[in-house]
Amino acid sequence: MSIWINGQPATQLDASDRGLSYGDGLFRTLRLLDGAPLAWRWHWARLQHDCAALRLPCPEAELLLAELAAVSAEWPDAVAKLTLTRGVGPRGYAPPAAPQPTRIVQAGPRVAPPAERYSQGVAVYACALRLGLQPALAGVKHLNRLENVLARAEWQGDEYAEGLLCDSEGWVIEGVMSNLWIRRGRELLTPQLDRCGVSGAARAWVFDTAPKLGYQVREWRLRPADVLAADEAMLCNSLIGFWPIARYQQRRWSVFTASEALNRAWLGPETDTI
């Protein structure tokens, strides 16, 4: 693991950093191939959006790309995490008038998921935890991830590769670490994220890429019953690509045509590294 803080190799963080005290910040998780982040255009768009939502200064893209390349130089296929906090500040919730953000870039070797998760699909756990509604933070990958931590603690072992989360009103929102898509014929649907949830870069990529593969794409409010009735269901994020769902509750799937097409495109020319 290699870690840089504010442009320098480091491993220590000021204990009064607001990211530590209040979760006052955001992060992105990226896959890097030979130092270049996969789907950077979509990551950069989401990073700018999230910084604006939290009123955080957004670093320049060139700076981030240089640091990502440097921190991952040891590994041709790497996983990187980019964290931005509002920086060090006095006690209390009031944000500093002129924040000095903390920028943490870390990377390590990527461990590829088991091949059968792509060829045979994955089993998905139905989480009991319900996501709270907060439109002001909807879509933002902020540092407050306790809901995800508690949801992931609901199951142990290897039977389930992921869990599916609903909000407090029973609408399906996302996976614990991924976004959800279902297929109805040639239409791909993903939950609306206007009240909670995280809008990932791979999710955004689908909106731009799937129409080129012959699919109509839209956001929709989905119940668990809609997932169970789907012709196909899949999970995505920037590290795994697209996992087809083989089992959720009582439903079984064995047709993975959309996930196969998206996985081919994900590592193809449609997903430029810069």
Please indicate, yes or no, whether residues 120 and 234 belong to a single structural domain of this protein. yes
| Alpha carbons within 13 A on the beta-carbon side of 66 | 8
Please list the active-site residues: 29, 141, 174
Please indicate, yes or no, whether residues 105 and 123 belong to a single structural domain of this protein. no
Tell whether 24 is covered by a domain: yes
Q: What are the counts of helices (DSSP H) followed by strands (DSSP E) for the chain? A: 8, 15
The CATH number of the domain holding residue 259 is: 3.20.10.10
Please indicate, yes or no, whether residues 257 and 206 belong to a single structural domain of this protein. yes
Q: Is residue 246 a contact partner of residue 171, using CB atoms and an 8 Å limit?
A: no
The two three-digit tokens of residue 85, written as one number? 């906090």
Please indicate, yes or no, whether residues 206 and 182 belong to a single structural domain of this protein. yes
Examine the fold and report which residue of 109, 126, 155 is the final residue of a domain before the chain moves on.
109
pLDDT band at 95 (very low <50, low <70, confident <90, very high): very high
Tell whether 125 is covered by a domain: yes
Please indicate, yes or no, whether residues 203 and 144 belong to a single structural domain of this protein. yes
The two three-digit tokens of residue 178, written as one number? 């991924």
Q: What is the C-alpha to C-alpha distance for residues 189 and 191, in angstroms, rounded to an integer?
A: 7
The two three-digit tokens of residue 21, written as one number? 């005290």
Mean pLDDT of 244-257: 98
pLDDT mean across residues, the chain: 97
Please indicate, yes or no, whether residues 135 and 259 belong to a single structural domain of this protein. yes
Beta strand residue intervals within 176-230, DSSP E: 179-184, 187-191, 216-220
Tell whether 167 is covered by a domain: yes
pTM of the model: 0.96
Please indicate, yes or no, whether residues 258 and 151 belong to a single structural domain of this protein. yes
Mean pLDDT of 55-68: 98
Residue range(s) defining the domain that contains residue 53: 2-109
pLDDT band at 90 (very low <50, low <70, confident <90, very high): confident
The CATH number of the domain holding residue 58 is: 3.30.470.10
pLDDT of 273 strictly over 60: no
Beta strand residue intervals within the chain, DSSP E: 2-5, 8-9, 25-33, 36-37, 77-85, 102-109, 122-131, 162-167, 172-175, 179-184, 187-191, 216-220, 232-237, 241-248, 251-252
Residue 31, Cα to own-chain centre: how many angstroms?
11
Please indicate, yes or no, whether residues 150 and 239 belong to a single structural domain of this protein. yes
Please indicate, yes or no, whether residues 17 and 143 belong to a single structural domain of this protein. no
Tell whether 254 is covered by a domain: yes
Examine the fold and report which residue of 77, 109, 141 is the final residue of a domain before the chain moves on.
109
Percent of the chain whose pLDDT exceeds 90 = 96
Examine the fold and report which residue of 57, 88, 109 is the final residue of a domain before the chain moves on.
109
Q: pLDDT per residue over 98-149, tens digit each? A: 999 999 999 999 999 999 999 999 999 999 999 999 999 999 999 999 999 9
Q: What are phi and psi of 26, to 5 degrees?
A: -150, 170
Burial of 24 (0-12, 13-18, 19+ CB in 10 A): buried
DSSP string over 50-63: HHHHHT-PPPPHHH
Please indicate, yes or no, whether residues 123 and 244 belong to a single structural domain of this protein. yes
Tell whether 274 is covered by a domain: no
Number of domain units in the chain: 2
